[in-house]
Structure 1
């Protein structure tokens, strides 16, 4: 019998279909909170930020992050999706389109990661718990809260369409609202939303279903899903693979972007490289500043950096799913992009390397051997409080 030909490996700079959308290439600017919104609305700085990345050659840039409810913000100035936000979002979308790229809105609810002190309203979580970021207790989400937040995702997606966005990315990671329900460490409920994985996945599946029902095939729908919370007792890859299978079977998403870590408990599990404890401490007033300097290394842990550092875990998802997957984590070179394509990941997502060099994609396209100047110091991370940027650029 003749051998079955090997599947053709896509070229990273060729156009690619993502749901109903065609991207000019397979490279996505990953969501990185920009810290540039004012009054929970788009600013000129935010527009300029995404225009730079679009002009630099990415196929799509992701606006991060657009809260679906006011109590779901990680800080008070963060965008939350309401009619007043649409004009600014439309200006942003128009600016990105003018540079030839597509634009996605990352929508979600921060849940226990939300800063209740800044938002002046209690944060929501599966159970009441202490939030070390706001130094306050969260409120246990009621079934009415869950329904309200689920519906708010659909509304946010509709507003993104009204603003001219090409895609929405549902945030199901980092122990935000839906992710906190998935986590057996955080979700200690004993009702229909706790206990078994099937129960813990109800929020994530309902949110994705609500968004798909609202948008149909008018825009691409992605979800950012934790493969691993990176904490003892948290969501692990075997359970996350099953959640991904359910999302695929539900037909609610066009692609999954695979991520890891907990913004609440272990943020550096995603951001491999140096741990900028001193720089994070400097962003806080006293006495929190002293506290972060003294015990920050327990929370802001350093992990060794290597190219494609999430690939090994992501392979388990690739083997279990037919759904398009976006590989994230340590994508800075053409060789790594080609490796992702060869391993069956039709898209890659980049963040820190593009903060250092917004035009890196165009330069790699012109000269494949172009190296990234990112040194993975992670000192860009504390700048989210003052306008996200590379401190070395």
Structure 2
């Protein structure tokens, strides 16, 4: 029998896998990449088509991103936020995904300091007051009342997701969004019970997870996207991530963890290995953000060489301390060899982002041809498009569809 196979003869990655009460047809998950297809904060036919294409392409589950739990929790205006008005559209989306045999997951979170307050028209909230050079505005320190409200909003959003037909919710604890910014010693300089020890800095993240689990129980799967490190000196690092993962695991707060790295405001390319498309990002920005990128882009938007399975070594450290929670490996998974390596290392699922933007049918192609390689070249020119209409600019059916530079 071939390595990493089973009595069916299929590679393990193409066999069913369970997350809580949900059984996926295979172990491949489309990771969250904001789609840019909701100009009025509600589901559109274009958003449904985006995820329907992923479902038809063979992924076991597709993740809708980004579903904010509150209006100010959006990274920018036009993103969906979870409220009763959104349910009919979300139900149409989940029904479409289910028709193709895939599961649907909603990524829930609050953008915190990552929010573009100019675009949302609301203050960006974080651990403290901080100047955002991209928007030329200051973030606002979240009060205890803000934290309580946002915590409760995560529970409410999870209920809405369940009522909308989602099989799973993914709670955003990464990239220095709201919960993750409290975890980071670089960003969290509060002088109250939410700063200091990791136990204090983790109160927001753990509170969000408890609120969600309390509200939905085992009706749907509960997962979280958790940073292993921010990629900045003095920030949240793997040693603390191991402790946090152990706490989450011990309390049974989630059914699975998807592991990631990077800081959207401080070091975004630490996650997106490969080329750094600074010029393309600046060209598509409104005037204020364009100026910000031109001034600080070459310092803030660094590039890191791409290599397959670039998060595996760190993720293995998290795996060593987790006993009951399933783990999803992200980063540099583009063919059967990398998928098999992840399965052999004991990971339960693999997640793919850019490769599925390039070709949503990649899972079917790999299953049909074990030697198939992804077409994605890690140029990262898909990154700037997520402000408008996320796509791979190299796909023949998207060439020429990039919008004109903002303000032109």
Shorter-chain TM-score tier: over 0.9
Quote the residue 2:330 is aligned against.
328
Quote the residue 2:398 is aligned against.
none
- 1:354 deviation in Å? 0.5
- 1:287 deviation in Å? 5.6
Structure 2 gap segments, 5+ residues each: 396-408
Whether contact under 8 Å (1:353, 1:372) holds in the other structure is yes
2:257 aligned with 1:256: yes
Quote the residue 1:143 is aligned against.
144
Closer, same or farther: CA 253–149 of 1 in aligned 2, 3 Å = same
- 1:132 deviation in Å? 2.3
- 1:293 deviation in Å? 3.3
Aligned length: 388
2:385 aligned with 1:383: yes
SS at match of 1:71: helix
Whether contact under 8 Å (1:34, 1:387) holds in the other structure is yes
Deviating runs (4+, > 2 A) in structure 1?
Answer: 6-10, 285-295
Closer, same or farther: CA 133–99 of 1 in aligned 2, 3 Å = same
Inter-partner Cα distance in structure 1 for 2:217 and 2:290: 47
Whether contact under 8 Å (2:135, 2:288) holds in the other structure is no
Quote the residue 2:308 is aligned against.
307
- 1:251 deviation in Å? 1.1
Quote the residue 1:225 is aligned against.
226
For residues 331-382 of structure 1, the C-alpha deviation after alignment (integer angstroms, 9 at most, x for no partner) is: 1010000000000101000000010101000010011111111000000000
**Superposition TM-score, scaled by structure 1 size:** 0.97
Inter-partner Cα distance in structure 1 for 2:134 and 2:171: 23
Matches within 5 A, 1:202-221: 202-221=203-222
Inter-partner Cα distance in structure 2 for 1:153 and 1:201: 16
- 1:386 deviation in Å? 1.8
- 1:249 deviation in Å? 1.3
Quote the residue 1:349 is aligned against.
351
SS at match of 2:18: strand
For residues 290-324 of structure 1, the C-alpha deviation after alignment (integer angstroms, 9 at most, x for no partner) is: 55235312111110000100001111011111221
Whether contact under 8 Å (1:209, 1:250) holds in the other structure is no
Matches within 5 A, 1:190-201: 190-201=191-202
Matches within 5 A, 1:31-46: 31-46=32-47
> Which region of structure 1 is more displaced relative to structure 2, 77-86 or 282-291?
282-291
Structure 1 gap segments, 5+ residues each: 1-5
2:320 aligned with 1:319: yes
Quote the residue 2:340 is aligned against.
338
Whether contact under 8 Å (2:336, 2:371) holds in the other structure is yes
Inter-partner Cα distance in structure 1 for 2:5 and 2:365: 25
2:110 aligned with 1:116: no
Closer, same or farther: CA 168–287 of 1 in aligned 2, 3 Å = closer
Q: CA RMSD in A?
A: 1.4
Inter-partner Cα distance in structure 1 for 2:167 and 2:281: 34
- 1:286 deviation in Å? 3.4
